[in-house]
Structure formats: structure tokens, C-alpha cells
Chain A
Amino acid sequence: MIQYAAILLMMIGLYGLLTNRNVVKIIVSLNILEIGLNIFIISIGFVYDGIAPIITSTNNSSALVFVDPLPQALVLTAIVIGVGTTALGLAIVKSIYAKYKTLEIDEVEEN
């Protein structure tokens, strides 16, 4: 049931994406949406009493109960791509500010 908290986070991000008119706030909303999605994907692989999927000297056998490693690997990819898109978005924001001296989309459209 705790997975629905992640869906709530996703919906908060989507609401921010739909209503905000400030470019930086749009990017922050996109990041919140992405974090919610990442938490949701990780939560799919959780197992009660499962340990982190690493064979170490104390947990030294693959016969132990591990949590699912595949969602974690997929989220690792998603995080890196999220960093890339955020950097690209912020670069676009920087050039918008350099040209129009504002971050509000409404004021950009007037010019």
C-alpha cells in the first residue's frame, strides 16, 4: 500500500507541470514526477526480510533472500538520463533568461 505514496508524488509533479508558468518550476515539477516514478519502480522489487543484492563476506551465498536487483538497475539508468534532461532543460532556461530577462512563459510570449 505504501507504493501509492509514490503515485501521489508522481501526481504532485504532474499537477505542477500542468499549472506552473515559471520555467524553473516546470523543471522542478518534472524532477518530482521522475523521483516518484523511480521510487515506484524500486518498490515493485521489494521483498520483506530481503537484503541488498550484493554477495559480501557476511552475506556470502546466492541462496539468501535478496530484493529484486532488476528494478534497481533500471532506475540507475533512469536517474542518469534524468540528470541529462535536467541539465539540458536548465541550459535552455539560461538562454531564455539571457534573451528575454524573465522566466515566466507569459511574459516571454508578450515579447
Chain B
Amino acid sequence: MKKLLAFIAVIGLGVLIILALDNNYQFPAFGHAYLPSRVSEHYITKGSNVDIIFGQTLNPESGPANIVTSIVVDYRSFDTLGEVTVLFISALGVSLLLGSAVTQKRLELEFKPNFMLRVGSRALFGIIIMTGVYVTLHGHLTPGGGFPGGTMIASAMLLLYLADDQFRAKIKSFKILEGVAGSLYVIIGLIGLIVGTYFLSNFLDNGVVGDLLSSGIIPIVYILIGLKVGSEISGMIDNFLTEEEVK
């Protein structure tokens, strides 16, 4: 009975949403979004009347060649600071709920990892870390950035946790790294407030679009975000894979 009621409610809600969207002049049909009428046009042209050319345009309004990055870390950087704060609070909540990481010992695996698994996971660990660092460093040029790169670094930690029953990360240094990266983000924002005109304003030279060393503070901020996200999620993984010591 309860399932039937839920089914009817869900179908009703779905039909209501589709009816509201169908033939709505404000809601474009799939694939027919008209960008010049949207705010995204400003992000793509970077507010200039001249076309932005890869490798030629000098010092545009916003440096990154990756337009999504220029929205996330430049135009809406304050939003990203809030997002990082949300992630920090959820990591804090996880460690509060699951107990402090220092006094606990790690969860035992159901099997005994053999030599090949241990060595192979160590070899893979380096490659995964390298990919994560690459994705983080090139966040303003290619797809990716601090959030996916940080998650890749954390997934390398997860691999070591799952493949080795003795492994335990130095969780205290992760906490320090996380705090330092988060504070530096805010400090860079405050420097922008003092040197420039507003919080998190880009006070360095934007350079040529498409260069690795371009777009001012954005690569620095994205590296900080990558470090923070990586250490935070690694801390969460450690919290989930440890338990109270049974005496």
C-alpha cells in the first residue's frame, strides 16, 4: 500500500515536471541552447570584443584556456571557497562520528595480501599519484583541476589501504597539510583584497592564453584545492578503515 502511494506520488511529480518544462519558452529544447542570450557568453569571450586566440591573446580578463576553470576559480572563486568549506565540514563530521584517528588501529583485511599484490600496488601508486598531480597542475589548460586531481591522489591512498594490511598513512601530516592549504587559499584572497580591489582578485599577470605559467593565481589556487581535497578524502578513507581497539 505504502509502495503504491509512493509510486503514484512519484509518477505525479514526474508528469508535473515534464508538463511544466514542455513548450516552456524559457526552457530550450535539447541541443538548442542559445548562448548569446545567456551569461555564459561573457565567460566564453572573456568580456572582450576581439576573439580569444590560443597562444596569442595577451592578458585577457580571465586567464585560463579552460573556460570551466575560469568560472570555477576566477569568476565564482568565492563560491568555490564555500564548497571547499562544505567538504571540510563533512570531513570534520566524519572524524567526529567515527572517533579520533590517532588512538585507533586499522581494520583487518579478510585475506593475507601476497608479495605480488603488495609490490604491484606500490608500482601503481606512483602512476596514480603522477596522474593526479598532472591533472591538478594543468587544471587551467585541460579538463580536470583540483577536485578531480585531489580525488585521484586520495584513490591512490585507498589502493594502498586495500592492498596492504599493514599500511597506515601518516594521518597527522594530512591534517596539517589540509589546514595549511585551506588557510593559504583565504590568505591569497585577502592579498587580492589588499593589492587589488576585491576578495580573491587576480593580482598576478594573466600572461598568454594557453601557456602553462599563465592566468596568475588560478593555478596556485587550484593546486591548493587539489592538496586540500586529496588530504581531506584520504583522511576520510583512513577514518572509515580504522576501528576502536578491542581490549
- Are B31 and A91 in touch, CB under 8 angstroms? no
- Are A53 and B68 in touch, CB under 8 angstroms? yes
A57 is an interface residue with CB less than 8 A from chain B = yes
Q: How far does the alpha carbon of A47 sit from the alpha carbon of B35 in the complex, in Å? A: 9
Residues from chain A with Cβ under 8 Å of B18 in the complex: 4, 7
Interface residues, chain A, with chain B CB atoms under 8 Å away:
1-4, 7-8, 10-11, 14-15, 18-19, 43-48, 52-57, 59-63, 66-70, 72-73, 76-77, 79-81, 83-85, 87-88, 90-92, 94-95
A56 → B minimal CB distance (Å): 6
Residues from chain A with Cβ under 8 Å of B156 in the complex: none
Q: B96: nearest residue on chain A (CB-CB)?
A: A91
- Are A73 and B76 in touch, CB under 8 angstroms? yes
B243 → A minimal CB distance (Å): 9
Residues from chain B with Cβ under 8 Å of A53 in the complex: 44, 66-68
Given contact pairs A68-B35, A94-B240, a sample of 18 additional A-B residue pairs in the complex whose CB atoms are under 8 Å apart: A3-B21, A11-B10, A11-B11, A11-B13, A44-B28, A45-B33, A46-B30, A53-B68, A54-B142, A55-B52, A56-B142, A57-B54, A62-B46, A66-B35, A68-B38, A73-B71, A76-B72, A88-B90
B32 → A minimal CB distance (Å): 7
- Are A80 and B87 in touch, CB under 8 angstroms? yes
Q: List 10 A-B contacts (CB under 8 A).
A: A15-B6, A59-B54, A60-B55, A68-B33, A68-B38, A70-B71, A73-B71, A91-B98, A91-B240, A95-B98
- Are A87 and B94 in touch, CB under 8 angstroms? yes
Residues from chain A with Cβ under 8 Å of B222 in the complex: none
| SS of B interface (majority) | helix
- Are B53 and A3 in touch, CB under 8 angstroms? no
Q: B52: nearest residue on chain A (CB-CB)?
A: A62
Q: B75: nearest residue on chain A (CB-CB)?
A: A73
Residues from chain B with Cβ under 8 Å of A66 in the complex: 35, 44, 67
Point out which of A56, A77, A90, A91 has the most chain B C-beta atoms below 10 A from its C-beta: A91
- Are B67 and A54 in touch, CB under 8 angstroms? yes
Residues from chain B with Cβ under 8 Å of A61 in the complex: 51-54
A70 with B40, Cβ < 8 A, contacts A54-B65, A76-B68, A95-B98 known:
yes
- Are A69 and B14 in touch, CB under 8 angstroms? no
- Are A60 and B53 in touch, CB under 8 angstroms? yes
A19 → B minimal CB distance (Å): 5
- Are B33 and A15 in touch, CB under 8 angstroms? no
- Are A73 and B68 in touch, CB under 8 angstroms? yes
B97 is an interface residue with CB less than 8 A from chain A = yes
